[in-house]
Amino acid sequence: METARGAAQAERAANQVACLRFLADADEARTVGVISEGTGLSRPTVHAVLDDLLDAGLVDSTSPTTAGPGRPARAFRFARETGLVAGVDLGPRGARAIICDLSGRRVGYAELPPNGKPDLSLITRALEAAAATALDPSASPLDLGRLRGVGVGLPGVVEADGRLRASLAMPDLVGLPVAELLGKELGRPVVVDNDIKLAALAEQRGGAGRGYSDVVYLQIGHRLSVSIVLNGVIRQGRHRLAGELGAQRGMRWTRNAQRGQLVWSSRPTGAEVLTAAAAGDTAAQAELEEFCQQIAPRIATVLLVVDPEVVVVRGGPAADSSALLRPLAAAVENQLVFPERPPFVAAALGREAVVLGAVGNAFDRSKSVIYGIQDVPSPWNRITHEVERTTK
């Protein structure tokens, strides 16, 4: 009997997810007949499911105007505005916050510079700024009381419970139970992870790595960082150190690295070097090629250990990416014996990758709280849909 009851509950939950997904993808209210046809469920089943979703506050009912005689059929819509999910990217240069409705649509966004040394208060201030600048000009400021989950990205080693264990970029926050502190302040579940790992997850789910299960993400910015997604899941490792190649004592990616920071000679930043190289500047091209030659052995080692389907590279404006991808792929190829190797592609989500990964991670890890029902797929397609596909 328990087995039969469990099977019935699982079937009911699956039917709820099917109807909710159908309505989430629709821009207008849909009748029971349309929902039945779209999901393949019987009309009585759809009626029963919609009653559950109405009670849960996840759908609204309406009576659309119809031509001809007779009472118009009731229609139902996903009540996406009843809840909010947020993501915050906090780093030494400030905070970026995004707020989405329950369907993953972006409804608020803000960027804040640090006021002195960044601390956890900058996260709440960024959320308040994003709520105050709702993207719909006809809408009122967003009510943060409707938050159902928050994701945060931090630079450094983040424990599974959301404690920042180590960070060169933000040493003042090391040791703080970030998820616990923010969860108490906001009264909502908060999930925290490493910023580069979240960027890799976002690129795999909705960016340049979409459609691939195994992705290596390489970011060349103020420092050089690697993250790995295997079978669609961030590879953390037993001690949450997977991808932390800079933690090897005495290891230097390149000769121009100083305490992990990349220092360039032809231009002030790596992005500027890339842009100059793409424009034909020979000094920038030579420096970039030499840089690729230096990092190629380390990248080749990662590829031979992981054997990914694709390598997603973020190094500057996407329009200039070929100036980096060509010499990098060639340098790595020279390190490999076997002919099989993954393609190198430019990152698609730009500087928003971390914050998009943060909000998507909140959906992934808090979905039962966010929706009140199990196994609702996270809306990654919609989360990443509005991003301009150029690296900024």
Most confident of the following: 69-78, 173-182, 293-302, 333-342: 173-182
Structure tokens at 162: 């959301």
CATH code of 81-199+351-385, in short, is 3.30.420.40
pLDDT, tens digit, for every residue of 309-353? 999 999 988 888 999 999 999 999 999 998 889 999 999 999 999
Question: What is the average pLDDT across 196-224?
Answer: 94
How confident is residue 389, by pLDDT bands cut at 50, 70 and 90?
Answer: very low
Query: 81-199+351-385 and 210-347 share one CATH topology?
Result: yes
Query: How far apart (Å, rounded) are the C-alpha atoms in residues 238 and 245?
Result: 15
Where in the chain are the domains? 2-78, 81-199+351-385, 210-347
- At residue 260, the pLDDT reads 65
The superfamily in CATH containing domain 210-347 is ATPase, nucleotide binding domain (3.30.420.40)
Q: What DSSP assignment string belongs to 80-104?
A: GGG-EEEEEEEETTEEEEEEEETTS
- Name which CATH class applies to 2-78: mainly alpha
pTM of the model: 0.91
Question: What is the average pLDDT across 175-190?
Answer: 95
Residue 377, sorted as left (phi over 0), alpha (psi -120 to 50) or beta, turns out to be beta
pLDDT, tens digit, for every residue of 98-131? 999 999 999 999 999 987 788 899 999 999 999 9
CB 87 within 8 A of CB 150: yes
pLDDT, tens digit, for every residue of 35-85? 999 999 999 999 999 999 999 899 999 865 454 555 567 899 999 999 999
Is the model's pLDDT at 390 over the cut of 70?
no
